[in-house]
Chain A
Amino acid sequence: MAGDDAVPLLAVRDVTKSFGAVAAVAGVSFALHGGEAHALVGENGAGKSTIVKMLAGVHRPDSGAIEMDGAPLVLGSPADARAAGIAIIYQEPTLFPDLSVAENIFMGRQPLGRLRRIDKAAMKAEAEELFGRLGVHLDPDRPARGLSIADQQLVEIAKALSVDARVLVMDEPTAALSGVEVERLFAVARTLCAQGAAVLFISHRFDEVFSLCERITVMRDGRWVSTDPTADLTVDQVVRRMVGRDVSALFPKEEVEPGEVVLDVRGLTRHGVFSDVTFSVRRGEIVALAGLVGAGRSEVVRAIFGIDRLDEGEVHVDGERLPAGSPAAAMNAGLALVPEDRRQQGLVMELSIERNATLTRLGALARVGLLSGRAERRAAREWTKRLQVKYGLLADAVGTLSGGNQQKVVLAKWLATEPKVLIVDEPTRGIDVGTKAEVHRLMSRLAGQGMAVVMVSSELPEVLGMADRVLVMHEGRVTAELSRAEANEETVMFAATGQNGTAA
């Protein structure tokens, strides 16, 4: 491991970057050493993504410098970054689905044979050699389509290795991965470190940060806060530095006496996806759908809301049967769905904050069928204020907001419909600790006011802290229904992995 006084492999020196009037990053410095994994943590909007984009050559710093081996490095484009040996692994890799794994790795740099034809054998051999170095088994000939996100990331890492990347930046790579997949990714990252590369790891999951990284840099509001060896830090300390205050109770579910049944789901089946899902939710209750990624939880709530079709089963709201396959009917009945994928499903990124915030209730805002800009603006202002969304102008594209603020806009647009049943799918995925606590408090308060809440979550602490009841799904079936008292890490994980009868 490199000492503090050695010349760092990559150093960020006092960089600043502003977008319009907003300083996204102001005077941030830290250094990456070869053979070391370095974590960059901070709330959403703290400027981590901007740092990543600078390293990727997407943004150029307004001032300050990036140095490699002590020499200044100008990254004017992603090609420059690649040439300098900086590889970025994003949360959602972008592979060409119809090309093979090997073709994806060597896209644009295929080994050529006679008559400048692509030498497929050499390409395959090199791909196999790369996977060998990473210690993973992937068939270079299979198409990228259908690979899990974890495997797609491995392909991206192999791509990085094939250009001899010396710095590997991983921007929230584990958000969509299961536990086993995370372990495998970390094994690969450790292998790379052992081979002398530097890893910059960005994540909201502290267990991962502490298990993988030797050093942790904390950012807050675009500024550098601290860089320390992991050994000298505790999770509490890091959280305090990130939010600049104590986060007291992270999961403050109030005790509420549940009322009558609002949502009643009977025998929901979609062949090959989920089958015979039955449960009900009362007023004031938070029911969590727990389980591993791919257990069919999101598919169930999507079907309840009418996005996906159903093969069998019925959904009743307040005793009335919902017509299947109609989100509009579900909304009229008092359902709201905060979807899993904020960028694709929750928001129209190109449209303004105002347009997004009012999209769910245009009918209600219209007078004799016509909309006046003023009523929309007032409604948008009211709800973004209630949820404390931080923004410049309501007319700004919603895509310019940080992840946590985007999620607040999604919540705003659904809470504005004053739903009886709020379904939230991964309500705090990829958002920062402070906003997370706000979202939890909000859900708890809404339940306290008599709303029925269905929460899909992959974060066990969130499930255990928030839910009055936990339904655990495994491979499309509900394998356990646990009361708050029965639910703990073991009972949930047993049911989630399909080991029935062992616990609970």
Chain B
Amino acid sequence: MAHDTLYAHPEAPAPEPGARRAGALWRALFTRWDTWVVIVLAVVVVGAGASVDGFAGPRNTQFLLMDIVAIALIALPMTLIVITGEIDLSVASTLGLCSAVMGQLWVAGLPLELIVVLVVVLGAVLGVVNGVFVTKFGLPSLAVTIGTLAAYRGLSFVVLGDQAVADFPRQWTDAASSTIGGSPVPWSVLIAVVLAVAFAVVLHWTPFGRSLYAMGNNAEAATFAGVSVNRAKFWLFVASGAVAGLAGVYWTLRYASARADNGSGLELAVVAAVLLGGVSIFGGRGTLLGVLAGVLLLGSLRNALQLADVPADTLNVVTGALLITSVVVPNVVGMARSWLRQRRHQRG
């Protein structure tokens, strides 16, 4: 059976000498989407710091970070969901409904500690609804979560109407925007970092995470390899709901206001950040580090533009344009690469 082993194969490339391997490493680094997101992020931060008044100040840094915590939180499970080839567009409405219920429960006189737990559980239950429709009934998540996007937002107005509950205790609302020691970094960032590490470990270092990439590329082959595709997707939707619920708690306390329209349109920012971070909308590709860079990039850009007195509508145009760019650029790059390769071959 051993007429030619792997090592005897003439086309197997010889091990590269150190210098060339280092070159290959650099090349590999710079052909990665995440690397470029980090570079662009650095350019935006430095550029804005130099040219936009107040951008680099500690107060703005604190607000910038507080603004993106909710997006960062929701983007974590969203990253995993998009990698499996699904999407959850109901996250902002889940946040809103959780916020509204939080307000009603506070009005009803429940202790806030209990409310927080209940609201996160509610978020998980809302995720269960998405998960059941997607995995048990086999419906496309795009359709299901557009449906629940509308339904959950509608429900939150049923729960709270157009009033706002704003009399949460000071120590709780202050805690939501307090900072670590003398630094401009709010405590809430720490929650996001802890969860981000947890999600990164799950995605990049566990069998479960590996299976997500497999099913995102080819669910059938994943099933044949013993991966429980539907079970994995179900739990991701539950996680997405629970995290959106947590983000709802944070949002309510941070603005000291429970309202039915809290977080309206936030799903756009989350999806834009995830795609900007290099996750393929077709599934099967992306890293959590890239997504975090994407969240920071989107947040910094919006913040800098806001400081520069760019109107809010224009900001949404920018977000939308970034979303489309991050879908289009990988395709264009791929096309350019194969064109270059072809030309090189014809010359050579």
Contact B210 A388, beta carbon cutoff 8 Å = no
Contact B213 A355, beta carbon cutoff 8 Å = yes
Tell whether B228 is near chain A: CB-to-CB under 8 Å. yes
Query: Cβ of B3: which chain A residues have Cβ within 8 Å of it?
Result: 245
Q: Mark B200-231, 1 if CB is under 8 A from A, else 0.
A: 01000111001101100110111111111000
Tell whether A327 is near chain B: CB-to-CB under 8 Å. yes
Q: A391-B6, A392-B13 are in contact. Are A360 and B226 (CB under 8 A)?
A: yes
> Shortest CB–CB separation between residue A483 and chain B, in angstroms?
28
Contact B5 A385, beta carbon cutoff 8 Å = yes
Q: How far is the CA of A369 from the CA of B207 in the complex (A)?
A: 8
Contact B224 A388, beta carbon cutoff 8 Å = no
Contact A351 B213, beta carbon cutoff 8 Å = yes
Pick the residue among B6, B207, B217, B221 that contacts A385 (CB under 8 A).
Answer: B6
Q: Which of B12-35 contact A (CB under 8 A)?
A: 12-13
Q: How far is the CA of A205 from the CA of B1 in the complex (A)?
A: 23
Query: Cβ of B346: which chain A residues have Cβ within 8 Å of it?
Result: 60, 62
Tell whether B348 is near chain A: CB-to-CB under 8 Å. yes
Pick the residue among B2, B5, B225, B348 that contacts A62 (CB under 8 A).
Answer: B348
Query: Cβ of A370: which chain B residues have Cβ within 8 Å of it?
Result: 201, 205-206
> Shortest CB–CB separation between residue B153 and chain A, in angstroms?
35
Pick the residue among B1, B12, B206, B224 that contacts A369 (CB under 8 A).
Answer: B206
Q: How far is the CA of A21 from the CA of B1 in the complex (A)?
A: 27
Pick the residue among A355, A365, A388, A438 that contacts B5 (CB under 8 A).
Answer: A388
Contact B284 A350, beta carbon cutoff 8 Å = yes
Q: A359-B214, A362-B210 are in contact. Are A345 and B226 (CB under 8 A)?
A: no
Tell whether A220 is near chain B: CB-to-CB under 8 Å. no
Tell whether A160 is near chain B: CB-to-CB under 8 Å. no
Contact A21 B226, beta carbon cutoff 8 Å = no
Q: Which of B315-348 contact A (CB under 8 A)?
A: 342, 345-346, 348
Tell whether A413 is near chain B: CB-to-CB under 8 Å. yes
Tell whether A37 is near chain B: CB-to-CB under 8 Å. no
Contact A363 B207, beta carbon cutoff 8 Å = yes
> Shortest CB–CB separation between residue B27 and chain A, in angstroms?
14
Q: How far is the CA of A331 from the CA of B227 in the complex (A)?
A: 10
Q: How far is the CA of A413 from the CA of B346 in the complex (A)?
A: 38
Q: How far is the CA of A21 from the CA of B220 in the complex (A)?
A: 32
Tell whether A11 is near chain B: CB-to-CB under 8 Å. no
Query: Cβ of B113: which chain A residues have Cβ within 8 Å of it?
Result: none
Pick the residue among B205, B221, B223 that contacts A371 (CB under 8 A).
Answer: B205
Q: How far is the CA of A326 from the CA of B342 in the complex (A)?
A: 46
Tell whether A152 is near chain B: CB-to-CB under 8 Å. no
Chain B interface extent, by class:
20 to 34
Query: Cβ of B220: which chain A residues have Cβ within 8 Å of it?
Result: 344-345
Query: Cβ of A13: which chain B residues have Cβ within 8 Å of it?
Result: none
Q: How far is the CA of A70 from the CA of B54 in the complex (A)?
A: 73
Query: Cβ of B313: which chain A residues have Cβ within 8 Å of it?
Result: none
Q: How far is the CA of A365 from the CA of B222 in the complex (A)?
A: 17
In this complex, what residue of B is CB-closest to A338?
B224
Q: A62-B348, A348-B218, A438-B1 are in contact. Are A327 and B223 (CB under 8 A)?
A: yes
Q: How far is the CA of A371 from the CA of B225 in the complex (A)?
A: 18
Pick the residue among A18, A245, A359 that contacts B345 (CB under 8 A).
Answer: A18
A: number of interface residues (CB 8 Å): 47
Tell whether B309 is near chain A: CB-to-CB under 8 Å. no
Q: How far is the CA of A389 from the CA of B7 in the complex (A)?
A: 10
Query: Cβ of B205: which chain A residues have Cβ within 8 Å of it?
Result: 370-372
Query: Cβ of A413: which chain B residues have Cβ within 8 Å of it?
Result: 225
Residue from B6, B205, B221, B345 with most neighbouring chain A CB atoms (10 Å):
B221
Q: A60-B342, A327-B224 are in contact. Are A362 and B207 (CB under 8 A)?
A: yes
Query: Cβ of B210: which chain A residues have Cβ within 8 Å of it?
Result: 355, 358-359, 362, 371
Query: Cβ of B345: which chain A residues have Cβ within 8 Å of it?
Result: 18, 60, 62
Tell whether A22 is near chain B: CB-to-CB under 8 Å. yes
Q: Which of B180-206 contact A (CB under 8 A)?
A: 201, 205-206
Q: Which of A379-416 contact B (CB under 8 A)?
A: 384-385, 388-393, 413
Tell whether A346 is near chain B: CB-to-CB under 8 Å. yes
Pick the residue among A60, A331, A344, A393 that contacts B221 (CB under 8 A).
Answer: A344
Contact B224 A362, beta carbon cutoff 8 Å = no
Tell whether A337 is near chain B: CB-to-CB under 8 Å. yes
Contact B226 A328, beta carbon cutoff 8 Å = yes
Query: Cβ of A328: which chain B residues have Cβ within 8 Å of it?
Result: 226-228
Query: Cβ of B224: which chain A residues have Cβ within 8 Å of it?
Result: 307, 327, 337, 339, 345-346
Q: How far is the CA of A371 from the CA of B4 in the complex (A)?
A: 32
Q: How far is the CA of A23 from the CA of B348 in the complex (A)?
A: 13
Tell whether A309 is near chain B: CB-to-CB under 8 Å. no
Q: How far is the CA of A385 from the CA of B4 in the complex (A)?
A: 11
Tell whether B170 is near chain A: CB-to-CB under 8 Å. no
Query: Cβ of A360: which chain B residues have Cβ within 8 Å of it?
Result: 225-226
Tell whether A149 is near chain B: CB-to-CB under 8 Å. no
Tell whether A504 is near chain B: CB-to-CB under 8 Å. no
> Shortest CB–CB separation between residue B345 and chain A, in angstroms?
5
Residues of B within 8 A of A (CB): 1-6, 9, 11-13, 201, 205-207, 210-211, 213-214, 217-218, 220-228, 284, 342, 345-346, 348
Q: Can you give 9 contacting A-B residue pairs, CB < 8 Å?
A: A22-B11, A245-B3, A350-B284, A351-B213, A363-B207, A369-B207, A370-B205, A388-B2, A389-B6
Residues of A within 8 A of B (CB): 18, 21-23, 60, 62, 245, 307, 326-328, 330-331, 337, 339, 344-351, 355, 358-360, 362-363, 365-366, 369-372, 384-385, 388-393, 413, 438, 441-442
Given A62-B345, A392-B12: 14 more A-B contacts, CB < 8 Å: A18-B345, A62-B346, A328-B227, A344-B218, A344-B221, A345-B224, A348-B214, A362-B207, A362-B210, A369-B207, A370-B206, A385-B6, A388-B5, A390-B11
